[in-house]
Amino acid sequence: MGEKNEFARLAMVASPAEPAQEAARHLADTFDWAPLGEADAVVVLGGDGFMLQILHQMLDEGRVVPAYGINLGTVGFLMNRYRQNTNLADKLAKARRLSVTPLHMTAITQDGARHEHNAINEVSLLRETRQTAKIEVEVSGKTRIPELACDGVLLATPAGSTAYNLSANGPILPLGSNLLALTPISPFRPRRWRGAILPDKSDVVFRVLEPDKRPVAAVADQKEVRDIAEVRLKIAREQELTLLFDPGHSLDERIVSEQFVA
């Protein structure tokens, strides 16, 4: 068995992809692995998408423990580098804890139904048809844009600012900045508006205009709600998550280094 770890009980979960399954077989005898529901921390083998899936699973089940990701996927922005012969117990003992706070989305559909989801990366509103979406944007009780004509709009956390937000030409936000990125997706009007950086205490409301002609869907990370009337967003401070990173490979450093990629 491996060295004693600072966590009394450790779980391991692996994505179905073969590289993650192979790593799981290699690590099988490293610890006396516990079920996720009984663990003090979890080792996640896979990519960013699988890490988000596990974090959301813990949020949905109401029991959140620190997560140490090992990248067996493509990008691995939320993960640590995989080295087959690394002493995992030593890595976990030295890992830096990083807090990540998700967005809480309350979405009201055209039929009046209410849907609530958390988003660790971003909440995006996207047009459902060829018709341009028209969306009213309200921030902390004040209408900032009466009519945004666009393919969509998103609100991203610092942890998610290098994901869809960056692809939509939104700003990269350092962790600990207490900021949110409000970014339009292919905006047509106001023609010169390219988004805003908001304090994370802001409450943001999106209202869909002309919804019968211009239907809009809302996506909170991997959860989609269609035919939206209104979306309300705020930071869910009571749902704080903890990621574990190797020294020198923290999410802070990755966010900074991403801004210097040509």
Binding residues for NAD(+): 48-49, 121-122, 151, 159, 162-167
DSSP readout, 29-72? TTS----GGG-SEEEEEE-HHHHHHHHHHHHHHT----EEEEE-
Cα–Cα–Cα angle for 206, 212, 218, rounded to 5 degrees? 35
DSSP state of 92: H
Identify whether the C-beta of residue 187 lies closer than 8 Å to the C-beta of residue 193. Answer: yes
Q: Which residue ranges are tagged as binding site?
A: 48-49, 121-122, 151, 159, 162-167
Catalytic residue among 48, 90, 203, 221: 48
- Check if 29 is active-site: no
Q: Which residues in the chain belong to E strands, given as ranges?
A: 10-14, 41-46, 67-71, 96-100, 103-109, 114-119, 122-127, 133-139, 142-150, 152-156, 179-185, 196-199, 204-209, 216-220, 223-225, 228-235, 241-245
Return the residue matching tokens 């018709």.
131
Active-site amino acid positions: 48
